[in-house]
Amino acid sequence: MADISASFAGLSLRKCIYNASGARSMTPEELAALGNSEAGAILTKSCTLLPREGNPEPRYQDLEWGSLNSMGLPNLGYEKYIELSPELKKYGKPVFASVSGLSLEDNMKIIEAMNASEFDAVELNLSCPNIPGKPQVGYDFEDTEKYLEEISAICRKPLGLKLPPYFDFAHFEQMAGIIKKFRVRFLSCINAIGNALVIDSEKEIVIIKPKGGFGGLGGRYIKPAALANVRKFHELLPDIPIIGVGGIFTGRDVFEFVLAGATAVQLGTVLMQEGTSCFGRVARELEEIMDKKGYPSLERFRGKLKVIE
């Protein structure tokens, strides 16, 4: 059977497939389910300084090819996740904390506290809201550099970044140039495509309540954009592992992300729709593809996407 293990940031995953931070990863029960599943790692819900209830319902809806959400960062607060970290380590797989403070100061306080926790690494969410009137941090390159300068100076855990989707080569290059200045150990690409709008034409109404119906688009709709982000950052930052996120439902999807350069992948919408059984199913499908193609490990085809000459 093909080897689908992965290693990055000094950590080893028996399987290269685990959860995205927004999906079924908030409560102790959900995190325990991830621990008991075939996921290769556990990633917490993005945490803030204080617990948050999030946006009013309905704030998540499944769609034919994916999902739309405007969750509003519901979470238990960073102190609760630190408290849970020793228990999560008992599952024998890497445990990641997703950090999404509402300001630079919040993020620094959370990450300083994470240094003394049992978490193996931190995924800093740069695709979350900033102050009113400004873009999310990952779209403000000046702010991104300021965040990384301050946070990398205090973070003693391996630091990864959760990035928003980029659509212009100049933006890829600008972000890559900033990342090169700091000791970033991995990138997770991409977060949902922001501010999408889905309409129920029968009822002539939007399908979620927050923000007048605007929300983050996930699932199969965003897979081509996610593949493009993985590919471009792999080209620009070949020494930094990329975690592929966005529209991964099958083993074939994982195969394509690894071919584009991903070291591992995260499952979001499919985890919401299918539950934790998705990890074993997707892993088996990936192994079958690799066996059929004669690839004994992910390294044999990672980043080896062909182009038309």
**Residues with catalytic roles:** 127-128
Rounded Cα–Cα distance for residues 13 and 6 (Å): 5
Burial class of residue 104 (count of CB atoms within 10 Å of its CB; 0-12, 13-18, 19+): middle
Task: Give the CA distances from residue 252 to residues 71, 82, 107, in Å, rounded to whole numbers and listed in that order.
Answer: 29, 35, 36
Nearest to 171 by CA among 156, 152, 184, 190: 190
Question: How many other CB atoms are found less than 10 A from the CB of residue 202?
Answer: 6
What torsion do the CA atoms of 276, 282, 287, 289 make, to the nearest 10 degrees? 170
Q: Tokens 């977060």 correspond to what residue?
A: 191
Rounded Cα–Cα distance for residues 303 and 237 (Å): 12
Q: What angle do CA 179, 120, 298 make, to 5 degrees?
A: 70
Structure tokens at 153: 């100076």
**Which segments of 27-166 does DSSP mark as H helices, in order?**
28-36, 78-89, 104-114, 141-154
Distance of CA 165 to the CA centre of its chain: 11
Nearest to 2 by CA among 18, 19, 12, 14: 14
Q: What is the DSSP letter of 126?
A: -
**74 in Cβ contact with 153 (< 8 Å):** no
Structure tokens at 182: 């700091």
76 phi and psi angles, rounded to 5 deg: -90, 0
Rounded Cα–Cα distance for residues 23 and 273 (Å): 10
Please list the residues that pair with 55 across neighbouring strands: none
